[in-house]
């Protein structure tokens, strides 16, 4: 039997619990992964709370998790790129909180041998979301990119990918995360009243593009002010309601194994790092959600699955 995290009704973190389900089998073009780590996203918390229930009513029990890493132990017919024993990173939809997952092989990339399991489990969702956002904004060398919630999971990736694209990056964050942003070669700015003026002081040449990863009317309105009302220069991954009200693009994530491979290559080259704020055993998924919902997480929170005999990095 496989262990999975489920919830049977919307509510607080306490609704999350472990259930046992039949061990899944890899079908044609699929692989089975014994999970070692799975990332936790703010999206997971919003889903659990029922934030999207008005237009996407789920059928309970519901699982969560869009990213995981582990060891492949079974491959289906037609799979030639992977074999049992391979360490892998995968993306999926609402099933990553588990000790075993089955996913299409086309949604899997090899895990770098030097990447610890928590970092591998927390890479794909934030990394691919940030990559998608920068593509949507068409960030170019020499432009100034403003990232809201720059110390969070998506924000940390966006800062680094923006610098890789040779943009100047200004990041909003609480003062305790300013040194962290400087370590990634970003210019930190504090949240709160007067935000637009502080950004202007940090970027006297103006702001070309804005990625919002936190939401809030004040943040989006300041972004409009800084871009002189040019809405096509702003995207948000966090705020559906205010984005619709203000006419700002709300984007999702365009995911692919190729994009995931590119992210792992940047990691291997030491051009990209995955900041993990904390880890929790799978059985403590509720505590992981509580941590994410504080709104003060630097990087990612990750669930881990212990496997006797395996090392930390495989």
Q: 2-123+276-304 belongs to which CATH class? A: alpha beta
Q: Is 245 exposed, middle or buried (0-12, 13-18, 19+ CB in 10 A)?
A: exposed
- Nearest alpha carbon to residue 210 among 230, 235, 185: 235
Listed residue (236, 232, 231) closest to 250, CA to CA: 236
Phi, psi of 215 (to 5 degrees): 85, 180
d(CA 90, CA 261): 10
Taking the C-alpha atoms of residue 105 and residue 95, their distance in angstroms, rounded to an integer, is 15
Q: What pLDDT, in 10s, does the model give residues 134-168?
A: 999 999 999 999 999 999 999 999 999 999 999 99
Question: Is the pLDDT assigned to residue 313 strictly greater than 90?
Answer: no
Handedness of CA 287, 289, 293, 296 (dihedral sign): positive
The structure's pTM equals 0.94
Reported as a single tens digit per residue, the pLDDT across 44-97 is 999 999 998 887 889 999 999 999 999 999 999 999 999 999 999 999 999 999
Question: Smallest Cα–Cα separation from 38: which of 283, 282, 272?
Answer: 282
pLDDT digits (tens, 9 = 90+) for 1-30: 999 999 999 999 999 999 999 999 999 999
| Contact (Cβ atoms closer than 8 angstroms) between residue 105 and residue 27 | no
Cα separation of 132 and 253, whole Å?
6
Q: How far is CA 91 from the centre of its chain?
A: 11
CATH code: domain 126-250 is 3.40.50.720
Sequence ranges of the domains in the chain: 2-123+276-304, 126-250
Peptide bond into 61 cis (omega under 30): yes
d(CA 130, CA 127): 5
Q: Report helix, strand or coil for 21.
A: strand
| pLDDT tens string 282-297 | 999 999 999 999 988 9
**Strands (E) located in 174-266:** 187-190, 209-212, 234-236, 249-250
Place of tokens 């237009």: 55
Among 108-112, 163-167, 242-246, the range scoring the smallest mean pLDDT is: 242-246
- The number of angstroms, rounded, from the C-alpha of 81 to the middle of its chain's C-alpha atoms is 25
Beta bridge partners of 103: 31
For the chain, the distance separating the N- and C-terminal CA atoms, rounded to the nearest angstrom, is 24
Chain centroid to Cα 71, Å, comes to 21
């Amino acid at each position: 039997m496989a262990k999975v995290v489920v919830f049977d009704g919307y509510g607080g973190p306490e609704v999350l619990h472990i259930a046992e389900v039949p061990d899944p089998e890899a079908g044609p073009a699929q692989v089975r992964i014994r999970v070692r780590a799975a990332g936790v996203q703010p999206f997971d918390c919003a889903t659990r709370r029922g934030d999207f229930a008005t237009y996407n009513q789920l059928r309970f029990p519901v699982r969560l998790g869009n990213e995981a890493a582990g060891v492949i132990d079974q491959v289906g017919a037609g799979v030639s790129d992977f074999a049992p024993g391979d360490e892998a990173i995968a993306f999926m939809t609402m099933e990553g909180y588990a000790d075993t997952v089955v996913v299409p092989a086309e949604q899997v990339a090899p895990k770098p041998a030097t990447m610890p399991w928590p970092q591998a489990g927390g890479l794909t969702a934030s990394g691919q979301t940030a990559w998608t956002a920068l593509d949507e904004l068409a960030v170019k060398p020499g432009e100034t990119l403003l990232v809201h919630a720059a110390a969070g999971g998506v924000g940390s990736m966006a800062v680094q990918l923006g610098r890789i694209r040779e943009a100047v990056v200004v990041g909003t964050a609480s003062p305790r995360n300013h040194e962290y942003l400087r370590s990634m070669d970003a210019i930190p700015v504090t949240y709160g009243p007067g935000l637009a003026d502080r950004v202007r002081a940090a970027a006297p040449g103006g702001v070309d593009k804005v990625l919002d990863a936190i939401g809030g009317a004040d943040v989006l309105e300041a972004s409009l002010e800084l871009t002189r009302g040019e809405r096509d220069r702003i995207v948000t991954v966090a705020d559906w309601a205010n984005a619709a009200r203000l006419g700002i693009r709300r984007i999702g994530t365009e995911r692919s194994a190729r994009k995931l491979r590119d992210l792992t290559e940047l990691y291997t080259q030491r051009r990209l790092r995955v900041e993990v704020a904390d880890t929790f055993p799978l059985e403590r998924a509720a505590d992981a959600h509580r941590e994410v919902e504080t709104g003060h997480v630097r990087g990612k929170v990750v669930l881990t699955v212990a496997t006797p005999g395996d090392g930390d990095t495989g």
